[in-house]
Amino acid sequence: MGQIRRLILILFVFFAVGGGALVLGFYGYGVAGRIAERSEESVAASNRALGQKLLDRIERVIIDGDRNFFRLVSLDDPREFKALWRRIVRLSPAVNGVLVLDERGRVIHLVAQIAEKKERRRFRTFVNDVIVPDLALDKLPPEEHRHLHRSYQGKRFLFSYIRRHPTGAPDYFVLLQLNVPYFIEEVFEAEFGSVASSARISVLDDNGEPLFGQAIEEIGSLVFDENFPTTLYKWRLQVAPKALAEMSDQGRQRQYGDLALVASAVGIIIMGLAVIFFALRQEQRANALKSVFIANVTHELKTPLSIIRMFSELLALRGAKDAAALREYAEIITRESDRLSGLIDNVLDFSRIEGGKAAYHFAESDMTGVVQRVATLVAYRCEQAGVKLNVDLPSDLPRLMMDESAMILLLLNLVENAIKYGVRSEGAEIGLHLRRSDSKVLLTVSDNGPGIAKDERRRIFDRFYRSKSAQDSGTRGSGIGLSLVKHIAEAHGGRVSVRGDLGKGSIFEVCIPFD
């Protein structure tokens, strides 16, 4: 129950911190996004203000000019009127002509930049038949100033007109034909040129074709796009920051960058929590394995102690009357004492390795002598277990720099495992073989037992691990023997491996290099 509560606590902390990291990350991303939005809104507001200012400026130029011209209109003397306006039309680039209409909307005076009489009559007819119907003069209040901006027969026209209501005389209308190309080429250039270094400016006609500048395709919150209010109302003014594309790209990149940063931070936090969780799980698993190890070692220690105690009591009860029985009891006590001593040595060696205190005393030694000594030590165990021990030792092996005691412990562990787990039927055999391969000495311990599953071969050298077949056999073990074998082999610059198929035995091979 304690382990379950601990696991629940770990999971709670994991999800609490992970959830907090996610919330914090998305909050940070939201704050960064809002800052970016406010920055963009500031740029958009500044651009809108500039666009509105330019619209107002063009409107004011046209309207103020029209009103100045309207002040010059007087019908007291028609000849003086015509002479004055001929000079004005000839000298002023903003006006192409002036027309005076009676109260019924018919042209009574015309002054225009048209030399031929035939063309003048045609223009008068055009105004009477086409322009006047679009003006709605009957609905125009006195002294109100309006504009007509249209295209007729593919030609652009801008008319400015007003209704005059003189005292004691009938109403009349003044109609100015303004010079459209002049506003495009002169007025726009003069008014927009001062801001061209910091903004992109375009004027589009009623078909969306650019009249000034280049059309701005990137329509969005940063682009000002509105029609002229009262004068050139068929046209649109577009204003955008000079580096609009770069700003849009930077905005997207900043957004992606912020998202990547938040995701990285959250990922690192979650990864850290996962590592902690994994470490805790490993520690929990190691603790569980240690508990099994303690139980197994306790049993392993109790078994030889119980046998030694039992035969010691038999010796004490019977005395030395039966020499054969006395010798047998003594041999059993000696064998179990050796077994107990070996187990204790394994535990002590493992403890030193775990504590980082293992020390090896290397000296030039003969590997053949090590194998022969181990074969002598296990001969009685093999005889009792009904196992045939085959030893193959070549005569030309070089001497190795090694810790002889450690190598004896390594080989004893491999042979003990073969006796414990590899003996399952009549005709059981264990092979001890030494051979030379290039600059290495290969030590092989083989058996014809049940073998080891492929997915367990790497794990059997981990501390406290016992394979499924070993556990199913009911044979007790500490789970540290093969871990010691691996450590000793690696301390000598070598390695240990296992091969073989299930049901066909196992072959453990220790490879030790030599100079």
Which residue carries 């073990």 as its tokens?
477
Count of other CB atoms within 10 angstroms of residue 16? 11
pLDDT of residue 419: 83
What are the Cα distances from residue 116, in Å, to 36, 92, 106, 112, 378?
Answer: 63, 20, 21, 10, 134
pLDDT of residue 126: 92
Question: Left if phi > 0, otherwise alpha if psi is -120 to 50, otherwise beta: which for 154?
Answer: left
User: Cβ(127)–Cβ(99) under 8 Å?
Assistant: yes
pLDDT of residue 397: 84
Cα–Cα distance for residue pair 491/486, rounded to 1 Å: 9
pLDDT, averaged across the chain: 80
Say yes or no to pLDDT of 296 above 60. Answer: no
Output DSSP code: residue 272.
H
Model confidence band, residue 167 (pLDDT cutoffs 50, 70, 90): confident
Output DSSP code: residue 140.
P
Burial class of residue 249 in the structure, from the number of CB atoms within 10 Å of its CB (0-12 exposed, 13-18 middle, 19+ buried): exposed
User: Cβ(342)–Cβ(303) under 8 Å?
Assistant: no
pLDDT of residue 326: 72
User: Cβ(411)–Cβ(372) under 8 Å?
Assistant: no
Cα–Cα distance for residue pair 391/370, rounded to 1 Å: 12
In tens, the pLDDT along 354-411 reads: 655 556 788 888 889 889 988 888 887 788 778 888 988 887 788 888 888 888 888 8
**Lowest mean pLDDT across 70-84, 340-354, 409-423:** 340-354
More confident residue, 301 or 320: 301
Average pLDDT over residues 158-175: 89
Domains of the chain: 68-242 (3.30.450.20), 360-513 (3.30.565.10)
- 334: helix, strand or coil: helix
DSSP 358-418: -----EEE-HHHHHHHHHHHHHHHHHHHT-EEEEE--S-PPPEEE-HHHHHHHHHHHHHHH
